[in-house]
């Protein structure tokens, strides 16, 4: 997944963040991104004027923050999201290489054609 869709990056928390840390990060981001809390949007408007609408980029960022919190605050949704994150990454399987004291013995895996035997079972 790209960083723009990574909910942990959007909220600025680690993947091991607690529910309380996620809620704190969400509230802090909402205080800085929400149009009602940001005084820069309604500057220049006098009394009786409607507040200015946020730009599409700010709206998109606000929606990303809300979507990230919606997924990460619910333990079931968060577990499903974490599963999709790990399934997209390659699985690393640890391999131990065994060395022989006699020296190199050739390739570790030998692939040969299958020889079918004939017998009473055939």
In tens, the pLDDT along 35-61 reads: 776 555 445 455 555 556 778 888 888
| Residue 16 resides in a domain | yes
Q: What is the pLDDT of residue 4?
A: 42
d(CA 92, CA 94): 6
Which structural domain, as residue segments, surrounds residue 62?
Answer: 7-43+51-88
Q: How many CB atoms lie within 10 A of CB 21?
A: 15
| Residue 62 resides in a domain | yes
Whether residue 3 is predicted with pLDDT greater than 50 in this model: the reply is no
| Residue 72 resides in a domain | yes
Task: Report the mean per-residue pLDDT for the chain.
Answer: 76
| Residue 70 resides in a domain | yes
52-67 as b/e: b if 16+ CB within 10 A:
eebeeeeeebbebbbe
Domains of the chain: total: 1
Q: Average the pLDDT over 16-43 and give the result.
A: 81
Give residue 1's pLDDT band: very low, low, confident or very high (50, 70, 90): very low
| Residue 97 resides in a domain | no
- Coil, strand or helix: which one is 56? helix
Could you give the angle at the alpha carbon of 15 between the alpha carbons of 88 and 12, nearest 5°?
110
| Residue 112 resides in a domain | no
Which comes out higher in pLDDT, residue 85 or 77?
Answer: 77
Q: What is the pTM of this model?
A: 0.58
Q: Average the pLDDT over 58-72 and give the result.
A: 90
| Residue 29 resides in a domain | yes
Q: What is the pLDDT of residue 109?
A: 65
| Residue 96 resides in a domain | no
Q: How many CB atoms lie within 10 A of CB 15?
A: 13
* CA trace torsion 21, 25, 28, 29 (10° rounding): -170
What is the CATH number for 84? 1.10.287.110
């Amino acid at each position: 997944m790209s960083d723009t869709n990574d909910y942990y990056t959007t909220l600025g928390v680690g993947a091991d963040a607690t529910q309380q840390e996620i809620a704190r990060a969400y509230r802090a981001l909402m205080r800085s991104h929400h149009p009602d809390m940001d005084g820069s949007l309604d500057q220049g408007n006098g009394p009786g004027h409607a507040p200015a609408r946020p730009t599409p980029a700010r709206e998109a960022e606000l929606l990303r923050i809300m979507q990230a919190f919606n997924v990460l605050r619910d333990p079931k949704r968060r577990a499903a999201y974490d599963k999709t994150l790990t399934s997209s990454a390659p699985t690393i399987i640890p391999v131990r290489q065994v060395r022989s004291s006699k020296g190199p013995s050739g390739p570790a895996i030998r692939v040969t054609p299958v020889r079918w035997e004939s017998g009473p079972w055939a």
